[in-house]
C-alpha cells in the first residue's frame, strides 16, 4: 500500500524539521524535497531587482513529478537507491507475491498546493504557517548558500507566500493547517498521531 504525504507551507515554518522526524518514525518512508528541483541560477527570472525563486517557474516540476512517479512505480527500488532498509524487501521484490506492506513518501516544499498535478498525488496534506514577524526573524537567522539580498523578504519572499496561500485557498485544496509557532515536539506528535490514526482506519477498511 502506498501513501503520499505533503508537508507544505511558509518558508522557515519548520517543514524540513518535521519531515525529518516523521521520516525516522514512519515505516518504509522516503522523502522528496522540492528545494532539490530549483532550476540553475542563470535560468531564474529577475523582476524588480530580485531573482524570482519563490514561484513555480523557478522549479523543474517535470523532474519533480518524474521522481514521485518513480517512487509510485517501485517504492522498494526507490527506497533501496536512497539507502532506506525496507523490511523483507528482497523477498517481496523477488517473489511474485503482491507487496502488502505500507510504503510512505513525504513530499516537502514551499509550493506544493498550487500545482494541480502535484496536488492530486497527495493522500494527506499539511500546511505550516507562522506570522510575518516570526518568519522574518527566522529567515534572517538562517545561512543560505546564496545569501538573501537586502529587501528580498519584504519585496519578494513574503508577498509570494501570501499570493500562493490565496491561490491554494481559491483552489479549495483540502489541507490540515498547522501552527508553526508550536514546539517541534508538539507539531511532530500532532502530525504523527494524525497519520497513524488515518493509516489504522485505512487498514481496517482494506481488511
The answer for residues whose C-beta is within 8 angstroms of residue 83's C-beta and 6 or more apart is none
Q: Which of 35, 62, 88, 154 is catalytic?
A: 35
CA distances from 122 to 112, 144, 158 (A): 10, 29, 25
| Sheet order of strands, 124-129 included | 29-33, 103-109, 2-9, 124-129, 176-179
Q: Is 170 a catalytic residue?
A: no
Given phi > 0 = left and psi -120 to 50 = alpha, else beta, which region is 83?
left
Evaluated on CA atoms 18, 24, 28, 34, the torsion sign reads positive
Residues with catalytic annotation? 35
Amino acid at each position: 500500500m502506498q501513501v503520499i504525504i505533503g508537508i507544505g507551507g511558509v518558508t522557515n515554518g519548520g517543514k524540513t524539521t518535521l519531515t525529518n522526524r516523521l521520516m525516522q518514525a514512519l515505516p518504509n518512508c522516503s522523502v522528496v524535497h522540492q528545494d532539490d528541483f530549483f532550476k540553475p541560477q542563470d535560468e531564474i527570472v529577475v523582476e524588480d531587482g530580485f531573482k524570482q525563486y519563490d514561484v513555480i517557474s523557478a522549479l523543474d516540476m517535470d523532474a519533480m513529478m518524474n521522481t514521485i512517479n518513480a517512487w509510485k512505480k517501485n517504492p522498494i527500488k526507490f527506497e533501496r537507491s536512497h539507502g532506506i532498509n525496507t523490511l523483507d524487501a528482497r523477498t517481496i521484490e523477488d517473489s511474485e507475491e503482491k507487496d502488502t506492506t505500507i510504503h510512505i513518501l513525504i513530499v516537502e516544499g514551499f509550493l506544493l498546493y498550487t500545482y494541480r498535478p502535484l496536488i492530486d498525488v497527495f493522500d494527506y496534506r499539511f500546511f505550516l504557517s507562522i506570522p510575518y514577524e516570526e518568519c522574518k526573524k527566522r529567515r534572517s537567522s538562517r545561512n543560505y548558500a546564496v545569501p538573501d539580498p537586502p529587501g528580498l523578504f519584504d519585496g519578494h519572499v513574503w508577498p509570494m507566500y501570501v499570493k500562493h496561500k490565496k491561490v491554494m485557498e481559491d483552489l479549495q485544496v483540502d489541507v490540515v493547517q498547522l501552527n508553526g509557532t508550536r514546539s517541534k515536539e508538539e507539531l511532530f506528535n500532532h502530525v504523527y498521531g494524525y497519520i497513524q490514526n488515518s493509516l489504522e482506519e485505512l487498514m481496517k477498511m482494506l481488511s
